[in-house]
Structure formats: structure tokens, C-alpha cells
Structure 1
Amino acid sequence: MKITVVGTGYVGLVSGTCFSELGNEVICVDKIEEKVNMLKGGDIPIYEPGLKELVQKNQAEGRLSFTTDLEDAVKKSEVVIIAVGTPSSESGAANMSYVYTVAEEVGQAIGSDFKVVVNKSTVPIGTAEEVKRIILEKNNTADVSVCSVPEFLREGSAVSDTFNPDRVIIGTECERARKTLIELHKPLTDQILLTDVRSSEMIKYASNAFLATKISFINEIANICDAYGADVVDVAKGMGLDDRIGPKFLQAGLGYGGSCFPKDTKALIHLAEEKAYEPQLLYAVKDINDRQYQRVIHQLNGIFGEDTKGLKVALLGLAFKPNTDDMRDAPSLKIIEEVTELGMEVVAYDPIAIERTQELIGDKINYAKNVTETLQDADVVILVTEWDEFKQLSPAAIKEQVRRPVVIDGRNVFDPNQMKEAGFIYHGVGRQV
């Protein structure tokens, strides 16, 4: 099958590359010439395990190409996938300008041949109808079906998620488009759910909002555990053994971040409010997450009181989660803002995300080359991102480097009893010491 993918971010680049690996001819389109040239050279602008190798392989084998020429790509393809960003606007609504701009350009490029246009970006309910209206406004003779096939990729495991999806959702009322999209996705899974377009668009928002709800719920439970001396790890384990609940997304910590959960929860709130409905549960989910990082500040104040000026903070991790360099809504940025205002000096290390962080905040903090350099003479260690190399740190290895044995474990990586036995002042999230 001949496919055009518009947008070379996480969704577009991963989806296009994986479809080419399945034997399809894929053209990835992006407006930024520098980015396209980088991709043509086999380099990728994001960190995603396994992706670079697949890009290079499928380019070499002639199934994957990159261009800035959208018109040419659309004319050559049967399926056009829109995978551009839908960032939050100030109101919380999804900013649809990129999607609608692509729709205009597709409308100008589209000929008389039947085309299937797929919204893979996370978009508000009714977007497919608007995209089709825009296309037909540019070309009222276009033979086009606009469908919704939302993505469910996790940053850090996006390639694996593409090849091993839990399900594929295809939203369309067009039988011809339905057959085309089933054929495209059938090599990935038999778990294909066929819906109307609006339900498909809602499934994506509902899924992300539910996962965000689980995270905020367990964080709220963790905060109550802190107050009563219970251990949230045991609580989550006991909850997760109930197959109606399950163990996934019950890891207490500093809250969710990244490109999806914050943005999509706010967008769903906005969609509800547009219809004069107040989604009280979603308000609470967002509010809990917005303040969860403050547990670190509360713990710092409990340990040091007002005597924080000049203290050295060793910050382990910057990215919002491991195996990515994504800094969007990363808790580390909020923590950095707060502790520097308290007069503390921050030295941070992340295996991947230092360059991204520097682009955002420059030299507001110091950056270390490795864990040992980060820990050297620290007054307090704050673990923000649960990278494997941090999980492997022993209490003895930490204690050997730091000035004071104080650890605030924002991801519950370390064993509280081992830390206590090693002489540490230790605070996790909802952990009993």
C-alpha cells in the first residue's frame, strides 16, 4: 500500500517507519527542511529505542522516504495519515491549526482518485467532519473519506507498541475506507474495533483520561498513606490483585507528564465545558497532578526548615519518564523552579534529556556528566525519573558521594528499610519507613 504520513514527530515518524517495515511504501512529509534532511541522512530528531535502526533499514530498502513536498506525496498515495501536533491552547482546548492547515493543503493537492484520509493525531470530537469540509472546500470534486484511527503509543516503547497493539480503533462510516484500513492494520493485530468516527475520536480521550485518573488516584492514596504511616506500594499491590482494577498505572510518584495525559485531560475538560457540562472528576484528576510535585517541597521543608539557601541538590532524572528525552510537563521543571527560588543549587543528570532541558531553561542549573558527579557533596538527593541506572544505585554507593545522607525518592525506586539501615533520612511517596 502507498501511504503518506504528514508530520514526523513521535506519532508520525514511528507510525510511518513501522508501516514501511510491514512492506508498505511510505512517504513522510514535514515542512521543516532541516528536519527532513536530517531524516534523509538516517538521523532522527527524537530519542526512541529501536527507531533509528528501523528508519535507516527501510530507507536503504526503498520503502521509506522523506520530503517537504506534500502535494507530490498525496498524489502518489492511497492513504494520507495526518499526524501533526495538537498542543494545548491557553484555554486548555486542543490547538487545531496544524491539522486544519494540513487539511487545506491536502484539499489543494488531492486529485480525482479515491483517497482515505486518516486523523491519527489526538483530536476533538467532530474533527474528521471538519477536515472533510475543509478538503471539499478546496476541491469540491474530491473523492475522499476522512476517518479516525487514534494512536496509543507510549514514549519509550513506541516501536514495540506499534507492532504489538492492544487494539486498533477504526472510525469510519465508509465501507471502502474501512476495508482499506483493515487491510493496513491486519498484520498488527486481530483486535480491531470498528466504530463510527465520533466514537473513535472519543475513545482516545477517554482512554488517556482514565489512565491519568488512575495515576492521580494512587497519588492521592499515597499522600493519605504518608499521613497515616501506611505503605502505598503494598496498598497498590493489594488493589492490583483485584482483576477489576489491575496493577498497571498504580505506581505512586510525582504525577504524570509528557505529550499526552496533561494535554488530553485538559482538552476533554474543555470539550465537556463547551457543552455546559462540568466534569468534576477530571477537574480533580488535573488538580491532584498539578500539585503532586509539591510533595518534594513539603519534604524539603520538613527536613531543612527555612535553612535551605546554598544547599546542593542532586537531581536524578529530568525527562518526564525513562527511555525518552521528552520534557513536556516534566515534574523536574517545576521542582527546579521551586528549589532554586529557595536558594538551593541544583546539579542534575539525565542519560538522555540534558540537551532538551538546556533548550528550555539554559544554565539555570548545573548539569553533570554522570551519576557520581551529580551526587558529589550533595546535601539532598531528589530522584525524579526512574532510569534503570538510578534503580541500580545502592545506599552505600550514594552515601559514599554525598555530604549529607538525605534522599527524597519521587518514584519509590529505593527500599526504605535499606535506606534507613544505611543511615539515610529517606522520604518516598506514600512509603512507610
Structure 2
Amino acid sequence: MRISIIGTGYVGTVTGACFASLGNDVICVDVDARRVESMNAGVPPIYEEGLEELLKAHAGKNLRATLDYDDAIAHSDISFICVPTPTDEGGKIDLRFVREASRSIGQRLKNKSSYHVVVVKSTVVPQTTQSVATPILEEASGKKAGVDFGVGMNPEFLREGKAVHDFMHPDRIVIGGDDPKAQAVIKSLYKGYKCPILEVDTKTAEMIKYVSNAFLATKISFSNEVGNICKRLGIDTYKVMEGVGLDARISPFFLNSGLGFGGSCFPKDVKALIGKAADVDYEPQLLKTVLLVNDHQPQMLLKLLKIHVPDLKDKRIAVLGLAFKNDTDDIRESRAIPVIGSLLAEGAQVVAYDPMASRHMKKVYPNIEYVKTADEALMDADACIVATEWAEFKKLDSFGNMRRPVVIDGRKMIDPKGKNIIYEGICW
């Protein structure tokens, strides 16, 4: 099938590359000329395992990028809107990019005679496809949805660092549509997949995405709340959650206590769902608490650090890990950001290391010291904080080079046995 992808961010780039690998002809549209040039050269604008290989294999063949909406819509039969949906200062979803994409597509549909399907893949609150995207498409095109063109919603369930794998081997595919013809076209793209395919209306598809992320975020905050209690009782919370996770009704996933969640999805989506609930006059107290617990975890880590280093002024503190999780260079909502902010507020000298994300964190904290190895960060440090679960941290053995071997572990990456260190886990 001929597909156009609107937006070459995280979701758009992965979606475009994966659809191309399945044999489709894909055109990616973006307003950033550098991104377009990069993709056409086979260089992904983001890091994602396996993505570069896909781009190199298909760029210039059945995958290309352009700045030209006219070109993309004219030469495709289905368009996926994959633009950002940030939250505003009040926590409500900001739909300006969805509106712009819908209007731009609609203007090109005006003179197109063949049937075209527009699919919202961006994460949007329930009723957005129906009440925002569709009316704009109709107004801009002068045509009628469900008659002259189709509209659908196809949420993504991609983990950063594993997105290519998740696209090719999904747990489920959700296809939202308010007319059967559009749903059938979307479904045809996934005809080779063996996973369950759930067909629902657009607002239900939108809600499934939000509830999935909100539930996973809730499991993390619940685990951290339990971990904070276990810490005070001298109980190994990881053993507790091992036992709890063996219950088939619960599962072991997302039960690891630690510094909390970050990234582009969980914080934003929980806030947006809270905002949508307020629109229908409901206060979701549990979801609000999920965010409160998450926001509190970095301060728990700082309190543990100050037990061993009461005065942080002019102390050299190594922060290991800047990305919000391992196997990505994404620092959005990284728990390292508030940790570093608190350290600087206490007058500490921060030296930071991450195998991939330092260049991004430099935009947030340009004046701290960045080094190229974990060993270099530990040299002469008064304490060390582990903020991201990079596998290489499990192998660290250079704590003897620290001025004071104090290690505050936010991700349970360091085994203190035989290392002669002062060790504290945030929840264990």
C-alpha cells in the first residue's frame, strides 16, 4: 500500500521504517528540512535499536522523506498523523500539531478524487479524532468523512529502545474507526500479523492507549510506594515484588521499585487523562497520586545521600545515567533532571556520565561537567548516584577511586557485596 507519515519524530520514523520493511511504499513528511535530509540519507533523527538498519535498507527505494504535503498526499492512499501531543502548563493536551496536520491533509484532499484514509496515530485524548481531526479535515477539504474519505485511530504501543521490535511483534493491534470502510483499509495493513486485532470506535481506541500507559505508571508508583515502606522496615522490596509478580493476575512487569518513571509518554499521558477527566467534571484522585509519588522519589534519593554527605556544598557528586531509561538517548522527564537540579541547589559540583544522552542533557544543564566514562565520573567523587539502568553500571569496579565511596542507587544496578562501599538503595 502507499502510505504517508506526517511527522518524523519517534513514532513517525519508526512507523514509516517498519511499514516500508513490510513492503509498503512510504513517504514521510516533516517541516524540518534537516530531518528530511537525514532520513533520505538513511540516518535516523533519533536513536532506536534496529532503526538505522531499516532506514539504510529502504531509504531511496520504497521509503523517502519530503517537505511537500502535496507530493505525499497525492502519492499515498492512507496517511498516518504522527505529530507530537504535548501537555500545556495546566496539564491538558496541546492539540495544535494535530490540528495543523489535519488542516494540511484536508487541503490536499480537496482536489483528490480517489478514496483516502486519514489515521491518527498520535496519542490523543478520547473524542479528539471525532471532534477535532475529522471536522478540520471536512472543513479544509470540503468533503464528507465516511463518504468521500475515511478517518481512523490506530494507537501505538512502542517502548523506547525496543520500538522496532514492538512494531513488528506487537501484543495487540487496536484499530479505531467510525466507518467500516476506513477500518477495513487500516486492518489490511496488518494482515500478516498473528496477534489479536481489536476493532473499536475511535474514542475507545484513544482511551485504550491512555489507560494502558496510566496503568503501567500506576504499577510503578505503587511499587515505589511499597518500596519506600519496605526500606523503613528493613525488607527487600525486590523479593516482595518477586513474590507478588508470580500471581498471574498481577504479572512481574513494571514492579521494580526505584527512582520513578520518565519519558515522553507516562508523565504526559497521565496528566492529559487527568485533564480530560476534569473536562467531564471528575477528579481522578488515584492518577493524581501516581504523579505525586513519582515526583517525590528524587527527593527520597537526595535525603539518603544527605545521611552520608550532610553538607553537599562544593562536594563532587557523580551522576551515572541521564536518559530516562536505558537503550535510548531520550531525556524527556528523566529523573536525573530533578536530581541534578537538587544537587546544584545544594551547591554540589555535578559530574555526569551517560553512554548516549549527554549531548541532550547539555541543553538543560550546560554548566555541569560531562565525562566520557563512568570510571572518569567516579574519580575523586564524594558520592555517586545511579539514575539510569544502563547494563554497564552492573560491571563497575572503580569505586576505590572515589574520595568517599558513597553510592546511592536509584535503579538497583550495583551489587555492594565485596566492593567496600557505603551503599544505599532508594527503596531497598
> Per the shorter chain, which TM-score range?
over 0.9
Long gaps (5+) in structure 1: none
- Determine helix, strand or coil for the equivalent of 2:59: helix
User: What is the DSSP-based 3-state SS (H/G/I as helix, E as strand, rest coil) of the residue aligned with 2:101?
Assistant: helix
Alpha-carbon distance between aligned partners in 2 of 1:403 and 1:74, rounded to the nearest angstrom: 61
What secondary structure sits across from 1:185 in the alignment? coil
Q: Match of 2:426, as an amino acid?
A: V
Amino acid at match of 1:52: E
Supply the distance in 1 between the matched residues of 2:247 and 2:94 (Cα, whole angstroms): 39
SS at match of 1:293: helix
Could you tell me whether the CA contact under 8 Å between 2:143 and 2:149 is conserved in 1? Answer: no
| Number of corresponding residues | 422
* Residue matched to 1:406: 406
- Structure 2 residue 224 is matched with structure 1 residue 222: no
Q: CA deviation at 1:59?
A: 1.3
Indicate the SS of the match to 1:236.
helix
Q: By how many angstroms is 1:415 displaced?
A: 2.6
Task: Identify which of 200, 217, 235 aligns with 1:212.
Answer: 217
Matched, 1:422 2:423: no
User: Aligned AA for 2:88?
Assistant: S
Deviations 1:164-192 (Å, cap 9, x if unpaired)? 00000001132211221111012233410
Alignment match, 2:263: 258
* Aligned AA (1:247): P
C-alpha distance after superposition, 1:149-208 (max 9, x if no partner): 000001001000000000000011322112211110122334100111111010000000
> Residues 319 and 351 of structure 2 are in contact (CA less than 8 Å); yes or no, is this contact kept in structure 1?
yes
In the other structure, the counterpart of 1:162 is 167
The alignment partner of 2:427 has SS state of coil
8 Å CA contact 1:349–1:369 kept in 2: the answer is yes
Alignment of 1:18-57 (within 5 A): 18-57=18-57
Partner of 2:182: 177
Among 358, 363, 368, the residue aligned to 2:371: 368
Alpha-carbon displacement from aligned partner over 1:252-301 (angstroms, at most 9, x marks no partner)? 11110000000000000000011110101101101101111111111122
Q: Which amino acid aligns with 2:65?
A: F
TM-score of the superposed pair, with normalisation by structure 2: 0.97
Match of 2:392 in 1: 389
Contact 1:112 1:141 in 2 (8 A): no
CA contact (8 A) 1:230 1:430 kept: no
Distance in 2, Cα, partners of 1:422 & 1:191: 48
Q: Which amino acid aligns with 1:425?
A: I
- Whether the 8 Å contact between 2:28 and 2:66 is mirrored in structure 1 is yes
- Does residue 115 (structure 1) correspond to residue 89 (structure 2)? The answer is no
Deviation of 1:369 (Å) = 1.0
Equivalent pair of 2:39/2:65 in contact (CA under 8 Å): yes
Once the two structures are overlaid, the 10-residue window that deviates more, 330-339 or 109-118, is 109-118
Question: Does the 8 Å CA contact 1:79/1:115 hold for their aligned counterparts?
Answer: yes
Deviation of 1:124 after TM superposition, in Å, equals 1.2
User: Residue 151 of structure 2 contacts residue 178 of structure 2 at CA under 8 Å; is this kept in 1?
Assistant: no
CA distance in 2 between counterparts of 1:92 and 1:145 reads: 31
Matched residue type, 2:70: E
* Pairing 1:337–2:341 present: yes
2:381 is matched by which residue type in structure 1?
A
Aligned counterparts of 2:96 and 2:263: Cα–Cα separation in 1? 21
Secondary structure at the counterpart of residue 277 of structure 1: coil
Using the TM superposition, give the Cα deviation of residue 423 of structure 1 relative to its aligned residue in structure 2, in angstroms.
2.7
* TM-score, scaled to structure 1: 0.96
Cα distance between partner residues in 2 of 1:197 and 1:336:
41
How far the C-alpha of 1:429 sits from its partner, in A, is 2.4
* Contact 1:132-1:145 within 8 A present in 2 as well: no
Q: List alignment gaps of at least 5 residues for structure 2.
A: none
After superposing on structure 2, the runs of 4+ consecutive aligned residues of structure 1 that deviate more than 4 Å are none
Question: What is the letter of the counterpart of residue 330 of structure 1?
Answer: S
Distance 1:300 1:375 in 2: 15
Matches for 1:1-400 after TM superposition, within 5 Å: 1-60=1-60, 62-110=61-109, 111-129=112-130, 130-141=132-143, 143-305=148-310, 307-363=311-367, 365-393=368-396, 397-400=397-400
**What is the rounded CA distance, in whole Å, between the counterparts of 1:313 and 1:413 in structure 2?**
18
CA positional deviation for 1:374: 0.8
Kept in 2, the 8 Å contact 1:215–1:251? The answer is yes
